[in-house]
Amino acid sequence: MQVTWIGHSTVLAQYDGWNVLTDPIFSERCSPSQWVGPRRYRRVPIQIQQLPPIHVVLISHNHYDHLDLQSVKELSQHSPSCLWVVPLGMKPWFDDLRVSRVVELDWSEEVFVRDRLDPGKQALRLVSIPCQHWCARGIFDRNKCLWSSWYSTTNRSSLFFAGDTGFSPIFTRAGKLLGPVDVALLPIGAYGGEDESWFHRPNHMEPEEAVQAHDDLLSRLSVAIHWGTFQLTSEPVMQPKERLMAALRRRDKRQDEFVCLEHGQTIRASTSSK
């Protein structure tokens, strides 16, 4: 499996002939407007036009730093046959954009995806995993649709995309049911300072909790996401990485077991038959 961190929660995972993209945001700002709102610390390292053909896009929820209108439009033109897999209630948003290949799943539902152009390719199993978060794009649509983590697997490889979530017992249950996981994409940032933690901690994991989630999932390799790209809360931009490395040292874990990639960096992970 090959994993490229594009930034924030946008990851290109390539395995067994599948190109899977998570929460694509390629815009300068994560906001309803490109004139105001959180702006990138790092320039996007890969343009949409430079991506390989995308087969599947996984969307965790509809916050602006995870569901970006312009990126969806450009990706739909770049890879018109890709399948968008979204939480329950989000399909109408895509229908308004005339994005035709959209599947929405409730928690614990799953779908098997087959490549229409390559019938011999292994099927891709996608499972919606409950997580601890919320959603809204405006004032009056709070929690009108779901949010989700995603488990993706073939007969040889498995990927867990946590999306945006607070820490919860769900990781233990997922590890028992689905683990070991070859690669887990786990958020480590936007937990905020002390004055913000009352709001953010239930919804965003802290780095130390992400290490526990890594263990609970029986993850062979975890890649940090949701950090170092946009200033969403008050913690210093590099603090999540520093706290993650310290947490790994305290638990006597190897630094290559849970990694923070540079923007645009690719890592290769060994996989085993499921």
Q: Domain coordinates of the chain in residue numbers? A: 2-268
Quote the CA–CA distance of 135 and 132 in Å, as a whole number: 11
151 is in an annotated binding site: no
Give residue-wise pLDDT tens across range 233-253. 888 889 999 999 999 999 988
Of 35, 106, 96, 41, which Cα lies nearest the Cα of 67? 96
Helix (H) or strand (E) holding 18: strand 18-22
Mind listing the pLDDT tens digit of every residue in the chain (274 residues)?
A: 999 999 999 999 999 999 999 999 999 997 777 777 688 888 999 999 999 999 999 999 999 999 999 999 999 999 999 999 999 999 999 999 999 899 999 999 999 999 887 888 999 999 999 999 878 787 877 888 899 999 999 999 999 999 999 999 999 999 999 999 999 999 999 887 766 666 667 778 999 999 999 999 999 999 999 999 988 888 888 999 999 999 999 998 888 999 999 999 999 998 775 5
Quote the CA–CA distance of 23 and 163 in Å, as a whole number: 8
CATH classification (class only), 2-268? alpha beta
Give residue-wise pLDDT tens across range 5-25. 999 999 999 999 999 999 999
61 is in an annotated binding site: no
Please state the pTM of the whole predicted model.
0.94
